[in-house]
Amino acid sequence: MSAQGDWEHRLGHFGRYGGRFVPEALIAALDQLDEAYRKASGDPAFTEEFGRLLREYANCPSPLYLAERLSARAGARILLKREDLNHTGAHKVRNVLGQALLTKRMGKPRIIAETGAGQHGVASATAAALFDLECVVYMGEEDTRRQALNVTRMELLGARVISVTTGSRTLKDAINEALRDWVTNVDTTHYLLGTAAGPHPFPTMVRQFVSGIGVEARQQCLAAIGGLPDAVCACVGGGSNAIGAFHAFIPDPGVRLFGFEAGGEGVETGRHAASITGGAVGVLHGARTYLLQDADGQTIESHSISAGLDYPAVGPEHALLNDQGRAAYEPVTDAEAMEAFGLLCRTEGIIPAIESSHAVAGALRIVPRLAEELGREPTIVICLSGRGDKDVDTAGRYFGMLS
Amino acid sequence: MNPLAAVRTAVAFEKARAAGRAALVGYLPAGFPTVDGATTAIRTMIDAGADIVEVGFPYSDPVMDGPVIQRATEAALAGGIHLADLMRTVEAVSTAGAPVLVMTYWNPVERYGVARFARDLANAGGAGLITPDLIPDEADEWLAASDDHELDRVFLVAPSSGQQRMAMTAQACRGFVYAASVMGVTGARATVSDAAPVLVEQVRSLCDQPVAVGLGVTNGEQAAQVAAYADGVIVGSALVRCLLDAPDLSSGLTALGALSRDLAAGVAAR
């Protein structure tokens, strides 16, 4: 693991990526968070408490499920890491439990969070209820309309949802608004960022909280098939489920890592959210990374059928993994993702999140390539990062079942 | 190379100090209500007594800005403002009698190319750059480029910065140190923070740069309060509001001139 340790050596940088591009007013809070996180990660009591919550409350470890009918269709042995079975329906619960525990340790009574699809907002509201914290969730006005059910969920859990009407009124603007709140209320408030992006220590800390995905999958894979997979596939928006799935496998040279970005209507149309494939290096929301931007450095709005991937940048560790060639990033279009969504529903009886459907579609795409390289049927772990209950309306409309 | 520009900010502070008053630092965004309208507005502000000008570059994700500046910069972006327009604006106001610093979030500079930005800003007659989301820890490229082109570089300090960071930041500054006196985004406030005098004293004990206080000043009376302990009084949202609230540019300019005169009288009345 020394390679990863080195990347982070210089104040949370991953090679040239990451860092802290934030107002000075936030630096003290980031330092406080970094210190609390370091102390906690070395404290057996914290590890124990976090582990107990994951087991007893969040339903982790999630199963690694051999999807036989899908495997037969794909011509590969496909193992699904069932993060969709976690409490609140996605991998996000791992991160919020970790950060909520830290919030308690820092003695802060209030958390704020941003949310796109509402999954991170729901997870944050859940943790806030569990830990008796005040919770405010910023959500773009556009998204509150697209995901009305999740707004109600958050409110049922006792959170206040603030509809953001600035900028493009989506996830990136919700993050801007949360940062403004944080700058103003930093003494009492922890910003519970939902992905492995943002200023140091968020990319490292969030990755550690979700890294159980890969650690579990690696052990489960060894136990189930007596070896490691040929590839691990995950969808990439901000990139938390992907970095969580990848991280334990980085030192295994035989395991290929694939991140599938939201290709929207096709990268060539400009209407997509593929920051690595279709973006350029810059600075957004506190970190240097790949982002969608114009010639003046203004952020370009992203587009994806999946609200959870609809974000114009990506976590900085993915930027480095891409440049090093350790992970490969490819776009998957809305149409490809929806086809995979339908396939998983009907072959396995699993309604996946549209986000996770991008990973399924990407995995199906790489099967022939891997089979040819390996000269045999490949074994692929797909991180099924979330369940699709929240997407029933979108999918019903897409397939013409609802109007 | 623009050797004159590099000293102009210091000279403006020196001039104010010699006159026994604080310097008035006024902010307006480029491109609002139009590129030419902003140029006229900045000149109006200088004519009415602003000693130093901050020209903001509108940005898609302005996390430090409150609602007033956001409304103006969103309008400017919708009007199609580009970095070339920013440079043109700087050039057009750089001869109006006050040093002109650009205030911008970092990504546009990085996208343009840090060295190229510094060169073009210097060639346009700009005095330097204020960087609200760039801390000296991440600024190696800009420190080098600003030295090469003799541009001022202004970083922010906050009440939450510890002694060590404050010293490091103040020492990295050239021109002045920007003391963000309240924890929060830009915007006019009914009362000016009482953390500000302490913050200014702390910074003064750590460097020999002028210290200007920003975030919250609305009128001449508040400006006088801040001028009692700071070398410079920074006003942004209140000035922008003059243009936002006005039915047309000419009445906006009238209001802007009146407020600038009130603020200029305030900084002299300490």
For residue A227, the tally of other CB atoms under 10 A from its CB is: 10
A9 pLDDT higher than 60? no
Range B93-118 average pLDDT: 97
pTM: 0.95
Confidence of residue B229 (pLDDT cuts 50, 70, 90): very high
Mind listing the pLDDT tens digit for each residue in A380-402?
999 999 999 989 999 999 999 98
Range A145-158 average pLDDT: 92
Mind listing the pLDDT tens digit for each residue in A314-342?
999 999 999 999 999 999 999 999 999 99
Mind listing the pLDDT tens digit for each residue in A167-182?
888 889 999 999 999 9
A147 pLDDT higher than 50? yes
Are A24 and B165 within 8 A, CB to CB? yes
Q: Tokens 């103006």 identify what position?
A: B72
Spatial CB neighbours of B209, under 8 Å, sequence gap ≥ 6 = B170, B173, B174, B175, B176, B177, B203
The CA distance from A28 to the nearest CA of chain B, in Å, is: 6
Are A296 and B83 within 8 A, CB to CB? yes
A11 pLDDT higher than 80? no
Of B109, B155, B160, the CB nearest to A28: B160
Q: Which of B65, B130, B131, B138 to mutate to test the interface with A (most CBs of A within 10 A)?
A: B138
Closest residue of chain A to B68, computed from CA coordinates: A166
- The C-alpha atoms of residue B70 and residue B187 are separated, in whole angstroms, by 10
- pLDDT for res B7: 52
- pLDDT for res A4: 42
The CA distance from B266 to the nearest CA of chain A, in Å, is: 27
The type of residue at B201 is E
The CA distance from B158 to the nearest CA of chain A, in Å, is: 5
Of A24, A172, A296, the CB nearest to B61: A172
Range B221-240 average pLDDT: 96
- pLDDT for res A7: 43
CA distances from B118 to A233, B97, B111, B113, B139 (A): 43, 21, 13, 9, 13
CA distances from B31 to B80, B240, B244, B263 (A): 8, 12, 13, 23
Q: Which of A13, A16, A21, A182 to mutate to test the interface with B (most CBs of B within 10 A)?
A: A21
A227 pLDDT higher than 90? yes
A19: left (phi over 0), alpha (psi -120 to 50) or beta: left
Task: Kindly state the greatest CA–CA separation across chain A.
Answer: 58
Confidence of residue A2 (pLDDT cuts 50, 70, 90): very low
Q: Give the single-character DSSP code of A248.
A: G
Are B61 and A19 within 8 A, CB to CB? no
- The C-alpha atoms of residue A97 and residue A95 are separated, in whole angstroms, by 6
User: Which of A172-195 are b and which e, b meaning 16 or more Cβ less than 10 Å from the residue's Cβ?
Assistant: bbbbbbbbbbbbebbeebbbbbbb
What's the mean per-residue pLDDT of chain B? Answer: 93
Range B224-234 average pLDDT: 96
Q: Which helix (H) or strand (E) holds A238?
A: none
Which residues of chain B are within 8 Å of residue A13 when distances are taken between CB atoms?
none
Which residues of chain B are within 8 Å of residue A280 when distances are taken between CB atoms?
111
Q: Hey, what are B27's tokens?
A: 């902010």
- pLDDT for res A10: 62
The complex scores an ipTM of: 0.94
The CA distance from A291 to the nearest CA of chain B, in Å, is: 10
Which residues of chain A are within 8 Å of residue B130 when distances are taken between CB atoms?
none
Mind listing the pLDDT tens digit for each residue in A285-324?
999 999 999 999 999 999 999 989 999 999 999 999 999 9
Are B63 and A21 within 8 A, CB to CB? no
Give the dihedral sign, CA A205/A210/A214/A220. Answer: positive
CA distances from A87 to A96, A117, A243, A293 (A): 12, 17, 20, 36
Q: Is B184 on the interface with A (CB under 8 A)?
A: yes
- pLDDT for res B189: 63
Are B158 and A25 within 8 A, CB to CB? yes
Task: Determine what percent of chain B is predicted with pLDDT higher than 90.
Answer: 86
Are B110 and A297 within 8 A, CB to CB? yes
User: Which of B25-41 are b and which e, b meaning 16 or more Cβ less than 10 Å from the residue's Cβ?
Assistant: bbbbbbbbbbbebbbbb
B28 pLDDT higher than 90? yes
Range B162-182 average pLDDT: 93
Range A256-262 average pLDDT: 98
B143 pLDDT higher than 50? yes
Are B108 and A176 within 8 A, CB to CB? no
Mind listing the pLDDT tens digit for each residue in A348-382?
999 999 999 999 999 999 999 999 999 999 999 99
Closest residue of chain A to B162, computed from CA coordinates: A28
Closest residue of chain A to B184, computed from CA coordinates: A184
Mind listing the pLDDT tens digit for each residue in B52-67?
999 999 999 998 888 8
CB pairs under 8 A between A and B: 111
Q: Is B167 on the interface with A (CB under 8 A)?
A: no
Nearest to A309 by CA among A342, A357, A348, A351: A357
The type of residue at B265 is A
Q: Is B74 on the interface with A (CB under 8 A)?
A: yes
Are B135 and A22 within 8 A, CB to CB? yes
Residue of higher predicted confidence among A116 and B44: B44
B6 pLDDT higher than 60? no
Range A231-251 average pLDDT: 98
A6 pLDDT higher than 90? no
CA distances from A374 to A246, A320, A380, B86 (A): 21, 26, 13, 55
Q: Three-state DSSP class for B84?
A: helix
Q: Is B163 on the interface with A (CB under 8 A)?
A: no
Which residues of B are part of the catalytic machinery? 54, 65
The CA distance from B231 to the nearest CA of chain A, in Å, is: 21
Span of A39-43, B6-10, B63-67, B153-157 with lowest mean pLDDT: B6-10
Which residues of chain B are within 8 Å of residue A290 when distances are taken between CB atoms?
none
Q: Give the single-character DSSP code of A300.
A: P
Q: Three-state DSSP class for A140?
A: strand
- pLDDT for res A3: 39
Would you call A136 exposed, middle or buried from its count of C-beta atoms within 10 A (0-12, 13-18, 19+)? buried
Q: Is B155 on the interface with A (CB under 8 A)?
A: yes
- The C-alpha atoms of residue B96 and residue B90 are separated, in whole angstroms, by 10
- The C-alpha atoms of residue A184 and residue A211 are separated, in whole angstroms, by 31
Are B106 and A283 within 8 A, CB to CB? yes
